Amino acid sequence: MTPTQPPYSGIRTFLGAPHARTCIEETDIAIAGVPFDIGTTYRSGQRFGPQAIREASLMLIDNDNPRFRQDPLEILNVLDLGDFDISIGDTEKSLQMIENQALACPARQLISLGGDHTISLPLLRALKQKHGRVALVHFDAHVDTWEDNFGTELAHGSPFYLAAREKLIDPQHSIQIGIRSPVENEVMDWTLEQGFTVVSAEQAHLSTPQVIAEQILACVGEIPAYLSFDVDSLDPSQAPGTGTPEIGGLWSWQVLAILERISQLNWVGMDCVEVLPAHDISQITALAGATVVWMYLGMLAKGKNSM
């Protein structure tokens, strides 16, 4: 898509894509912001993540993606739906609203810009009604399989605990990359017992993107796959603007290299979460999140004939 105006001007949509509050079945990809952050357990402010990701994405609009040698917006019909509605201060009602809006979207795929990681739960609930149980490809510093977050299940440390219990995801075909945070032994043991494959950040550093990609491909297989990218999977030097930073994380080039090598998976949706603009520096966290979404669009464009 050839830009018609410089990236510092105009309406802020993701990659400058057309904006519409509703889409039709012919829409390949709908992008929606989910400005929800009342599930955080430390720093909050992720409600401003969607607009920060959109703003940073405009740095990517003036040329083709060099890894795929194409502009995904030239190949895919992409609409930015703006932000989903939520109920301020009401977690349960907000999650139901997110699920309903995701379910009502007729696009072939939905890409969600968070918001904190709690939003993955209602998105997966909606996705199950369209695709059944899915494999989870999860980049994060945290396993997010805690049963309790200071007295509640409905918070950003628990989406995949609940998703596994509700059979929204298939843990035997799910993999988590970049894990390194403090975690109770009981939580990690439960995660592994369910069948999740856990790849620590150190393992990724001591390996290669090709090896990690092969591990992901072997784990997921041919079932529908959902990508959940938490920016705190990256090292704080690469992504300071997040709510729960953990040292020793992935580098952005590693994530891009891994994604390029798993483009052939049967992707059915993704989210990018935990961008916290108030703690960002020179937009580097928001740009990292935007670039991962751009990469995902490139992966879909590469395989559009199989969508």
Is the distance from CB of 235 to CB of 251 less than 8 angstroms?
yes
In this structure, the chain runs to a length of 307
Residue 25: its pLDDT value, please? 76
Residue 256: its pLDDT value, please? 97
Is the distance from CB of 251 to CB of 291 less than 8 angstroms?
no
Q: 109-133 in b/e burial notation, b at 16+ Cβ within 10 A?
A: bbbbbbbbbbbbbbbbbbbbebbeb
Residue 120: its pLDDT value, please? 98
Q: Report the C-alpha gap between 116 and 33 in whole angstroms.
A: 11
Residue 307: its pLDDT value, please? 44
Residue 8: its pLDDT value, please? 75
Domains of the chain listed by start with CATH number: 14-306 (3.40.800.10)
Q: Report the C-alpha gap between 198 and 178 in whole angstroms.
A: 8
Average pLDDT over every residue of 54-60: 95
Q: Report the C-alpha gap between 261 and 254 in whole angstroms.
A: 11
Q: Report the C-alpha gap between 111 and 62 in whole angstroms.
A: 21
Question: By C-alpha distance, which of 84, 80, 98 is closest to 14?
Answer: 80
Residue 1: its pLDDT value, please? 58
**DSSP secondary structure letters along the chain:** ---SS-TTSS---GGG--B-SS--TT-SEEEEEE---TT-SS---GGGHHHHHHHHHGGGTTS-BTTTTB-HHHHS-EEEEEE----TT-HHHHHHHHHHHHHH--SSEEEEEESSGGGHHHHHHHHHHHH-SBEEEEE-SS----S-SSS-SSSTT-HHHHHHHTTSB-GGG-EEEEE-S---HHHHHHHHHHT-EEEEHHHHHHS-HHHHHHHHHHHHTTS-EEEEEEGGGB-TTT---SSS--SS-B-HHHHHHHHHTTTTS-EEEEEEE---GGG-STTHHHHHHHHHHHHHHHHHHHTGGG-
Q: Report the C-alpha gap between 246 and 223 in whole angstroms.
A: 31
Average pLDDT over every residue of 42-57: 97
Instruction: Record the tokens describing residue 49, joined without a space.
Output: 């993540």
**Average of per-residue pLDDT values in the chain:** 94
**Model confidence over 149-185: pLDDT tens digits?**
888 889 999 999 999 999 999 999 999 999 999 999 9
Task: Tell whether the model's pLDDT for residue 24 goes beyond 80.
Answer: no
Task: Tell whether the model's pLDDT for residue 12 goes beyond 90.
Answer: no
Is the distance from CB of 194 to CB of 133 less than 8 angstroms?
no
